[in-house]
Chains A and B, each alone.
Chain A
Amino acid sequence: MDYVIEMLNITKEFPGVIANDDVTLRLKRGEIHALLGENGAGKSTLMSVLFGLYQPDKGIIKKDGKPVRINNPNDANALGIGMVHQHFKLVHNFTVLQNIILGVEETKNGFLRMDAARKKVLELSDRYGLKVDPDALISDITVGMQQRVEILKMLFRDNEILIFDEPTAVLTPQEIDELMKIMKELSKEGKSILFITHKLNEIKQVADRVTVLRKGRCIGTVNVADVTKEQMSEMMVGRKISFTVEKGEQHLGAPALQVKNLCVAGRSKHKDAVRNVSFTVNRGEIVCIAGIDGNGQSELVYALSGLMPVKSGTIELNGKDITHAAIRARNDMGMSHIPEDRHRDGLVLDYNLAENLVLKRYHTRDFQKSGFLRFKKIYSYADRLIKMYDIRSGQGANTVVRSMSGGNQQKAIIAREIDLDPEILLAVQPTRGLDVGAIEYIHKQLVAQRDAGKAVLLVSLELDEVMELSDRILVMYEGEIVADLDPKTVTVQELGLYMAGSKREAVQ
């Protein structure tokens, strides 16, 4: 068999943790090979071993059948192994071209020679349909484009084996489609691709074979065509995952949140980000705001939670006007908010878990007495939430949140926000970047809130999630609500038309 890379019986142990336990991965020439596993299954460790960032404790790596030793990323590069990291390694105030040649610059008498490089970049860009402008500044181009620059960097170095570390986590649905096309194009040209992911749809779409890791162990390698999504997820999680969410019977209550003629200023002065939006969220329902990213959803939620000023219109919570209320007042009145950017808004990463869990309640009588924090109460409260919401971390309540996995960070936010016992829960893309197990869990929590008679406003970009969870769908397009739909009667295709702006209905 023509294997370009073989990683045989790799074991990598960190103190207290076996990250990879006897894992074998074989990559065929010209195939797209997916590496599937939950957060923390050891995918990234395995790839870091291949890329020379770690040395395996046991096992060997073969390139074209010959054993090799990869001590650092330079060795990997020399063997033709390239990697697109999840967080791109680009210099933001350099141009695309400057980034691509960084480290392999050609010079003459100390001066840069860019002409040959420019030609090669344009040629590659053309050949794989990347459409990259070599003179654009990285800071000016979209995340999707930045990723293509990373791909070009690998191609420019004539890498044969391309590793993509969760490449779709940062992309919009359209960008994901284009990335998939590019990946297929690359494999057609004989490049071998290793594709780290926990998204089953993407694997079905592009991958030829898939290797599944669970808790550091290799569960098996299968042909993607031979298995269903359900089988793959079972291999990944180790139990059956329900893709459908059980919802109880709906008991609609009084309006919790009423928004009237809301306008929010946008980044550019002449166009508002949210334009004349009116809607109501009642107790006992999940209202979902669907739409393509950047159509004013973020600004709407920021205005509701008080993080952004309202230009005109009113917001009422339980009948009380909160249009200009302070953020703390809103919190205390029963508004919870699972923010879009959990690292920027949701957590103080350098505080420990307990300190983060009381972020919105440290000022209450329960946790402070005449100005002094009551650490005993804080820690026992944190321990309770950790147990209840199954937040996993190295040192329990004392763990610095920065060191926790993304899924558990999100669980911590959800625990904090739900435990506030809110009247209305604003949840913005609560499952972004999480694996199926965590997604299932979060969906259950949201539905539990609804079933308990609370109001939930969910903003999501994932159509599946929108269709699955919501009782009502509001579609946002260019800052306006263009449709108020019932998920039971509307089809995904129709929803897509509303989201793209080619169809709209009169909303009261």
Chain B
Amino acid sequence: MKTFRKLMNAKGHVSAASSIMAILAGLLVGLIILLVSNSEQAFKGIVTILEGGFGGGMKGVGQVLYFATPIIMTGLSVGFANKTGLFNIGTPGQFIVGAFAAVYVGVKWTFLPAPFHWFVALLCATLAGGLWALISGLFKAFLNVNEVISTIMMNYIGMYAVNYLVKQNIYDPLTSLSQNVAGSAVLPKAGLDKIFTNYSGVNSTPDPSTVNCGIFIAIAVAIVVYIILEKTAFGYELKACGYNRFAARYAGIDEKRSIVLSMVIAGMLAGLGGGLLYLSGGNGRRIKVVDVLAAEGFNGIPVSLLGMSNPIGIVFSGLFISYITQGGNYLQRLNYMPEVIDIIIASIIYCSALALIFRWVVLKLFKGRDALLGRIFPKYAAAGAEEEELSASAAVTETDLSAGESGEGLVPPEVQDVAGEASEPEGSPLQKEDEANARDGQEADQNAEKEDE
């Protein structure tokens, strides 16, 4: 337990631990659902889910990567917007518009030379997604229309417009899907299809996965997003606007421009995700003409939450959700209804989205009050760490810790509310701590003064 506590010390570990707890809780709910719907196979079922893509051999792993690509992109879209103070719930619209642009270019613009065809298609997907988000961005910046409402509306406009345009231009009546893109528009496989292939039968017939270089593009984009946000002056401006629009304006940052650009970049990320998923050749996805918003779009929200809006975290959470989803698909071998599978996947994703609350639980359980303060006032994290060191060697502080765990009274009411409302947990700082904290800096003086007296 002590070692576990020690592990909990660093901030990053707390994030990871809360994400893992969220996932475990989701799996538990999944197990219960499995037990209810078909109790005999339940244990096998949960193993199948946990096996994820491995349940399908090398091809399965490839499929995990293939389906992770679009949700990593939409996750980056949501995460980027979130870091810059916007809630982009318009990923389904931006995603499908991007997908259409890519497929349209892939089918029609065969005049393009082969090495550029897929690249141009991706570029158009990116631009289309950005353009779609631009509208909401302009509304937000200049007319103060809440981006949540406008992006939701744009989702439906995007979906129906794409359905219409597909039927008009690139419809394949035999399959009721969009037409296959030209071979030159398919993303290069980069040798991945050789690795992620199952061989079956006497002749070792290859059964390759759909995976292509899209996953590399997604990871590269995640790194670029990380650099933009954390290392550049541009990212500094966007984040400043997100944290405090007024202060950004005061500092001379053009906050309207920042809002529009944030939204456009978020849209571009989602649009690129659409392109990456649909430019995948014969055994890949094609656009269905149905009145349903793209699931890959909305899945960006839990992916982003699970990844704590961190671009690198989003890559991992995207892979994870794709992995679990793939495992869910293999559940059909155990005669589970596809609907049950969807419910289990949904509940796991749902619990994962509660990672924020689990984060709070983790802090409360393992570190007591001081850790909670540490999250709000980093200074305490350091102090807390020292305390942990002590508790490992001497049992004296152990009592303090347990007091921290059980003593509700130690935590001011504002903090206790956090779990309930989850609205801006950091927004309600403990004023009481403020001064104690500030005093720290004065300690040196205090000592000096003692001598004076």
A and B part of one assembly: yes
Contact check, B250 vs A307: say whether CB atoms are below 8 A apart. Answer: yes
Contact of B433 (CB < 8 Å), options: A14, A52, A215, A350:
A14
Determine whether B172 belongs to the interface, using a CB cutoff of 8 Å to chain A. Answer: no
Determine whether A337 belongs to the interface, using a CB cutoff of 8 Å to chain B. Answer: yes
The SS class assigned to the A binding surface is loop
Interface string of A338-362 (1 = CB under 8 A from B): 0100001111111100010001101
A407–B407 alpha-carbon span in the complex (Å): 32
Determine whether A73 belongs to the interface, using a CB cutoff of 8 Å to chain B. Answer: yes
Cβ contacts under 8 Å, B407 to chain A: 55
Closest approach, in angstroms, between the C-beta of A44 and any C-beta of chain B? 5
A48–B378 alpha-carbon span in the complex (Å): 22
- Stretch from A222-230, A273-281, A398-406, A488-496 that touches the partner: A398-406
Contact check, A362 vs B233: say whether CB atoms are below 8 A apart. Answer: yes
Contacts known (A17-B440, A398-B378); A360 close to B243, Cβ less than 8 A: no
- Stretch from A1-9, A59-67, A388-396, A499-507 that touches the partner: A388-396
Determine whether A314 belongs to the interface, using a CB cutoff of 8 Å to chain B. Answer: no
Interface string of B225-267 (1 = CB under 8 A from A): 0000001111010011001101111111110000000000000
Interface string of B426-443 (1 = CB under 8 A from A): 100101111111111111
Contacts known (A19-B436, A48-B432); A327 close to B426, Cβ less than 8 A: no
Contact check, A54 vs B378: say whether CB atoms are below 8 A apart. Answer: no
Interface string of B410-453 (1 = CB under 8 A from A): 10110000000000001001011111111111110110010000
Determine whether B382 belongs to the interface, using a CB cutoff of 8 Å to chain A. Answer: yes
Closest approach, in angstroms, between the C-beta of A1 and any C-beta of chain B? 29
Cβ contacts under 8 Å, B252 to chain A: 326-332, 360
How many residues of B are in contact with the other chain, CB < 8 A? 54
Cβ contacts under 8 Å, B234 to chain A: 371
Contacts known (A14-B436, A328-B252); A40 close to B442, Cβ less than 8 A: yes
Contact check, B386 vs A405: say whether CB atoms are below 8 A apart. Answer: no
- Interface size on A, as a range, is 35 or more
The SS class assigned to the B binding surface is helix
Determine whether B384 belongs to the interface, using a CB cutoff of 8 Å to chain A. Answer: yes
A-B pairs with CB below 8 Å: how many?
Answer: 176
Closest approach, in angstroms, between the C-beta of B446 and any C-beta of chain A? 5
Closest approach, in angstroms, between the C-beta of A363 and any C-beta of chain B? 6
A238–B410 alpha-carbon span in the complex (Å): 32
Determine whether B119 belongs to the interface, using a CB cutoff of 8 Å to chain A. Answer: no
Determine whether A139 belongs to the interface, using a CB cutoff of 8 Å to chain B. Answer: no
Contact check, B439 vs A216: say whether CB atoms are below 8 A apart. Answer: yes
Contact check, B441 vs A349: say whether CB atoms are below 8 A apart. Answer: no
A311–B433 alpha-carbon span in the complex (Å): 44
Residue pairs across A and B with Cβ atoms less than 8 A apart, 13 shown, are A17-B437, A17-B439, A19-B436, A19-B439, A48-B412, A215-B446, A326-B252, A347-B247, A351-B243, A355-B236, A371-B234, A372-B231, A395-B379
The 7 closest A-B pairs by CB, nearest first: A328-B252, A394-B379, A392-B441, A405-B438, A15-B383, A403-B377, A40-B435
Given contacts A87-B431, A348-B240, 5 further A-B contacts (CB under 8 A): A73-B413, A215-B446, A345-B247, A346-B250, A348-B248
